Amino acid sequence: MTMLRQFLIAPSLARLIQRERGGERVLEGFFPDRPHHSAFVQVEEDRSSLILSSDGPEGLPEERTSIPASQAQALLAVTSGQVGYVRTSLSLGSHQISLQQVTEPGPLCLLSVEVPQQEPEEFQPLSWFGPEVSGERTYLRRRIALDGLPHAPEVELTEGALNSVLDLLENGTTGPLADQVVASDEPGAHLPAGPSEPVPTDDDDQDIDDLSIENDVIRQLARSLRPQGR
Protein backbone atom coordinates (compact mmCIF):
# COMPACT_ATOMS: atom_id res chain seq x y z
CA MET A 1 0.00 0.00 0.00
CA THR A 2 1.13 3.53 -0.73
CA MET A 3 0.14 6.95 0.53
CA LEU A 4 0.26 10.27 -1.28
CA ARG A 5 2.31 13.15 0.05
CA GLN A 6 1.33 16.44 -1.52
CA PHE A 7 3.31 19.65 -1.80
CA LEU A 8 2.74 23.08 -3.26
CA ILE A 9 5.24 24.36 -5.84
CA ALA A 10 6.07 27.82 -7.13
CA PRO A 11 4.10 28.42 -10.37
CA SER A 12 7.20 29.64 -12.23
CA LEU A 13 9.04 26.40 -11.44
CA ALA A 14 6.01 24.35 -12.49
CA ARG A 15 5.93 26.19 -15.83
CA LEU A 16 9.64 25.54 -16.40
CA ILE A 17 9.27 21.82 -15.70
CA GLN A 18 6.18 21.48 -17.89
CA ARG A 19 7.84 23.44 -20.71
CA GLU A 20 10.90 21.16 -20.71
CA ARG A 21 9.29 17.81 -19.84
CA GLY A 22 5.91 18.27 -21.50
CA GLY A 23 2.57 17.33 -20.01
CA GLU A 24 -0.80 15.70 -20.57
CA ARG A 25 -4.09 17.55 -20.26
CA VAL A 26 -6.62 15.88 -17.99
CA LEU A 27 -10.24 16.79 -17.24
CA GLU A 28 -12.13 15.17 -14.37
CA GLY A 29 -15.80 15.49 -13.47
CA PHE A 30 -16.98 14.46 -10.00
CA PHE A 31 -20.40 13.23 -8.95
CA PRO A 32 -21.87 14.25 -5.57
CA ASP A 33 -20.45 12.61 -2.46
CA ARG A 34 -22.05 9.31 -1.46
CA PRO A 35 -21.62 7.30 1.76
CA HIS A 36 -18.60 4.97 1.60
CA HIS A 37 -17.80 5.56 -2.06
CA SER A 38 -17.26 8.17 -4.75
CA ALA A 39 -17.23 8.27 -8.53
CA PHE A 40 -15.76 10.51 -11.19
CA VAL A 41 -15.11 10.66 -14.92
CA GLN A 42 -11.57 11.16 -16.16
CA VAL A 43 -10.79 12.27 -19.70
CA GLU A 44 -7.14 12.01 -20.71
CA GLU A 45 -5.60 12.64 -24.11
CA ASP A 46 -5.74 8.98 -25.15
CA ARG A 47 -8.50 7.43 -23.03
CA SER A 48 -11.61 8.09 -20.98
CA SER A 49 -12.55 6.29 -17.77
CA LEU A 50 -15.23 5.98 -15.12
CA ILE A 51 -13.53 5.57 -11.74
CA LEU A 52 -15.06 4.29 -8.50
CA SER A 53 -13.23 4.52 -5.17
CA SER A 54 -13.82 4.25 -1.45
CA ASP A 55 -14.02 7.39 0.66
CA GLY A 56 -10.66 8.44 2.03
CA PRO A 57 -7.40 10.05 0.96
CA GLU A 58 -6.40 9.81 -2.65
CA GLY A 59 -4.07 6.90 -3.29
CA LEU A 60 -6.44 4.12 -2.26
CA PRO A 61 -7.08 1.37 -4.82
CA GLU A 62 -9.57 2.45 -7.46
CA GLU A 63 -11.81 0.54 -9.83
CA ARG A 64 -11.31 1.97 -13.32
CA THR A 65 -13.51 1.17 -16.34
CA SER A 66 -12.65 2.43 -19.81
CA ILE A 67 -15.55 4.11 -21.61
CA PRO A 68 -15.97 5.66 -25.09
CA ALA A 69 -15.18 9.36 -25.40
CA SER A 70 -18.80 10.13 -26.31
CA GLN A 71 -20.07 8.55 -23.08
CA ALA A 72 -17.42 10.39 -21.07
CA GLN A 73 -18.56 13.74 -22.50
CA ALA A 74 -22.19 12.90 -21.71
CA LEU A 75 -21.28 12.03 -18.12
CA LEU A 76 -19.17 15.18 -17.71
CA ALA A 77 -22.25 17.23 -18.55
CA VAL A 78 -24.09 15.90 -15.48
CA THR A 79 -21.25 15.97 -12.94
CA SER A 80 -21.42 18.36 -9.99
CA GLY A 81 -17.97 19.83 -10.42
CA GLN A 82 -14.92 19.58 -12.64
CA VAL A 83 -11.19 20.05 -12.33
CA GLY A 84 -8.82 20.44 -15.26
CA TYR A 85 -5.04 20.24 -15.04
CA VAL A 86 -1.84 19.52 -16.95
CA ARG A 87 0.00 16.50 -15.56
CA THR A 88 3.75 16.00 -15.86
CA SER A 89 5.28 12.77 -14.54
CA LEU A 90 8.77 12.31 -13.10
CA SER A 91 10.37 9.50 -11.13
CA LEU A 92 12.42 9.83 -7.96
CA GLY A 93 14.11 6.49 -7.40
CA SER A 94 11.24 4.10 -6.76
CA HIS A 95 8.82 6.98 -6.13
CA GLN A 96 6.52 8.50 -8.75
CA ILE A 97 6.08 12.28 -8.81
CA SER A 98 3.08 13.89 -10.50
CA LEU A 99 3.16 17.62 -11.16
CA GLN A 100 -0.40 18.91 -11.54
CA GLN A 101 -0.90 22.44 -12.84
CA VAL A 102 -4.57 23.02 -12.13
CA THR A 103 -6.25 25.38 -14.61
CA GLU A 104 -9.93 24.78 -13.78
CA PRO A 105 -11.65 26.06 -11.62
CA GLY A 106 -8.55 28.23 -11.17
CA PRO A 107 -4.73 28.20 -10.98
CA LEU A 108 -2.98 25.96 -8.46
CA CYS A 109 0.30 24.00 -8.71
CA LEU A 110 0.65 20.74 -6.79
CA LEU A 111 3.16 17.89 -6.53
CA SER A 112 1.97 14.41 -5.55
CA VAL A 113 4.47 11.73 -4.50
CA GLU A 114 3.62 8.06 -3.90
CA VAL A 115 5.37 6.81 -0.76
CA PRO A 116 5.11 3.30 0.78
CA GLN A 117 3.12 3.48 4.01
CA GLN A 118 5.88 1.75 5.96
CA GLU A 119 8.39 4.50 5.17
CA PRO A 120 6.57 7.85 4.99
CA GLU A 121 9.18 9.63 7.12
CA GLU A 122 12.14 8.28 5.11
CA PHE A 123 11.18 10.28 2.03
CA GLN A 124 12.98 13.62 2.02
CA PRO A 125 11.37 16.38 -0.11
CA LEU A 126 13.62 18.05 -2.66
CA SER A 127 14.70 21.66 -2.21
CA TRP A 128 12.26 22.93 -4.84
CA PHE A 129 9.23 21.38 -3.13
CA GLY A 130 7.00 23.96 -1.45
CA PRO A 131 4.96 23.58 1.76
CA GLU A 132 3.51 20.12 2.37
CA VAL A 133 -0.29 19.88 2.29
CA SER A 134 -0.64 16.11 2.80
CA GLY A 135 -3.80 15.23 4.69
CA GLU A 136 -5.47 18.56 3.95
CA ARG A 137 -8.64 17.46 2.18
CA THR A 138 -9.18 20.86 0.58
CA TYR A 139 -6.26 20.05 -1.76
CA LEU A 140 -7.77 16.81 -3.03
CA ARG A 141 -8.99 17.09 -6.62
CA ARG A 142 -12.50 15.97 -5.60
CA ARG A 143 -12.75 18.77 -3.08
CA ILE A 144 -11.34 21.32 -5.52
CA ALA A 145 -13.95 20.29 -8.09
CA LEU A 146 -16.89 20.27 -5.67
CA ASP A 147 -15.89 23.03 -3.21
CA GLY A 148 -13.57 25.29 -5.20
CA LEU A 149 -9.91 26.23 -4.82
CA PRO A 150 -8.42 26.34 -1.32
CA HIS A 151 -6.77 29.50 -0.07
CA ALA A 152 -3.19 28.44 -0.83
CA PRO A 153 -0.21 30.40 0.53
CA GLU A 154 2.22 31.96 -1.92
CA VAL A 155 5.25 29.73 -2.51
CA GLU A 156 8.56 31.58 -2.34
CA LEU A 157 10.98 31.11 -5.22
CA THR A 158 14.41 30.59 -3.65
CA GLU A 159 17.85 30.45 -5.21
CA GLY A 160 18.33 26.85 -4.07
CA ALA A 161 15.02 25.75 -5.55
CA LEU A 162 15.75 27.43 -8.88
CA ASN A 163 19.25 25.94 -9.09
CA SER A 164 17.92 22.46 -8.30
CA VAL A 165 15.25 22.63 -11.01
CA LEU A 166 17.71 24.06 -13.57
CA ASP A 167 20.13 21.21 -12.79
CA LEU A 168 17.32 18.74 -13.36
CA LEU A 169 16.26 20.32 -16.66
CA GLU A 170 19.73 20.94 -18.07
CA ASN A 171 21.74 17.99 -16.76
CA GLY A 172 19.20 15.47 -15.48
CA THR A 173 20.53 15.93 -11.93
CA THR A 174 19.24 17.73 -8.86
CA GLY A 175 21.52 18.27 -5.89
CA PRO A 176 22.27 15.41 -3.45
CA LEU A 177 19.60 13.21 -5.05
CA ALA A 178 21.12 13.63 -8.52
CA ASP A 179 21.26 9.91 -9.22
CA GLN A 180 17.60 9.40 -8.31
CA VAL A 181 15.62 11.89 -10.41
CA VAL A 182 14.96 11.12 -14.07
CA ALA A 183 12.18 11.90 -16.52
CA SER A 184 9.41 9.29 -16.48
CA ASP A 185 9.27 6.90 -19.45
CA GLU A 186 5.61 6.05 -18.91
CA PRO A 187 3.46 6.32 -22.07
CA GLY A 188 1.68 9.66 -22.27
CA ALA A 189 3.78 11.19 -19.50
CA HIS A 190 5.33 13.75 -21.84
CA LEU A 191 4.56 15.38 -25.12
CA PRO A 192 7.88 16.50 -26.66
CA ALA A 193 9.29 14.25 -29.40
CA GLY A 194 11.78 11.62 -28.23
CA PRO A 195 14.90 10.28 -29.91
CA SER A 196 12.86 7.92 -32.07
CA GLU A 197 11.32 10.81 -34.05
CA PRO A 198 12.23 10.89 -37.77
CA VAL A 199 15.22 13.00 -38.79
CA PRO A 200 13.89 16.42 -39.90
CA THR A 201 14.16 17.46 -43.51
CA ASP A 202 15.47 20.78 -44.81
CA ASP A 203 11.91 22.12 -44.75
CA ASP A 204 11.84 21.60 -41.00
CA ASP A 205 15.07 23.53 -40.32
CA GLN A 206 13.30 26.83 -39.60
CA ASP A 207 10.89 25.20 -37.12
CA ILE A 208 13.78 23.53 -35.32
CA ASP A 209 15.71 26.82 -35.12
CA ASP A 210 12.64 28.59 -33.71
CA LEU A 211 12.16 25.89 -31.06
CA SER A 212 15.83 26.04 -30.07
CA ILE A 213 15.67 29.82 -29.71
CA GLU A 214 12.50 29.54 -27.59
CA ASN A 215 14.12 26.97 -25.29
CA ASP A 216 17.21 29.18 -24.90
CA VAL A 217 15.04 32.19 -24.02
CA ILE A 218 13.22 30.22 -21.31
CA ARG A 219 16.50 29.07 -19.76
CA GLN A 220 17.92 32.60 -19.86
CA LEU A 221 14.81 33.98 -18.18
CA ALA A 222 15.10 31.34 -15.47
CA ARG A 223 18.77 32.16 -14.88
CA SER A 224 17.93 35.87 -14.65
CA LEU A 225 15.88 35.10 -11.54
CA ARG A 226 18.98 33.94 -9.71
CA PRO A 227 20.25 36.47 -7.13
CA GLN A 228 23.43 38.28 -8.18
CA GLY A 229 26.80 37.80 -6.50
CA ARG A 230 26.79 33.99 -6.46
Q: What are the residue ranges spanned by the domains of the chain? A: 1-230
- The yes-or-no verdict on residue 199 having pLDDT over 60 is no
- The closest alpha carbon to 5, from 127, 130, 152, 172, belongs to 130
Mean pLDDT of 75-93: 91
CATH topology for the 1-230 domain: Hypothetical Protein Pfu-838710-001 (2.40.320)
How many CB atoms neighbour CB 75 within 10 A? Answer: 18
18-27, 56-65, 110-119: least confidently modelled range: 56-65
Provide, rounded to the nearest whole percent, the portion of the chain with pLDDT above 70. 67
Number of H helices, E strands in the chain: 5, 9
Distance separating the N- and C-terminal Cα atoms of the chain? 44
User: Residues 189-201: what's their mean pLDDT?
Assistant: 42
Highest mean pLDDT among 1-10, 61-70, 98-107: 98-107
Question: What's the pLDDT score for residue 170?
Answer: 77
Mean pLDDT of the 64-93 span: 93
Give yes or no for a contact between 103 and 89, defined as CB atoms under 8 angstroms apart: no
Q: What is the mean pLDDT of residues 84-107?
A: 88
Record the pTM. 0.71
Determine the pLDDT at residue 140.
93
Measured distance CA(26)–CA(41) in Å, rounded: 10
Q: Label residue 166 by pLDDT band (50, 70, 90).
A: confident
Mean pLDDT, residues 100-117 taken together: 92
Q: How far apart are CA 58 and CA 201, in angstroms?
A: 46
What's the pLDDT score for residue 172? 57
Q: What's the pLDDT tens digit per position in 35-55?
A: 878 899 999 999 999 999 876
Which pLDDT score is estimated for 103? 96
When pLDDT is averaged across residues 75-92 and rounded to a whole number, the result is 92
Q: How far apart are CA 53 and CA 59, in angstroms?
A: 10
Q: CA–CA separation, 119 vs 96, rounded Å?
A: 15
Nearest to 11 by CA among 103, 95, 96, 83: 103
What's the pLDDT score for residue 93? Answer: 65
CB-based burial label for 123 (10 Å; 0-12, 13-18, 19+): middle
The residue with greater pLDDT, 167 or 175, is: 167
Which tops the pLDDT comparison, 213 or 64?
64
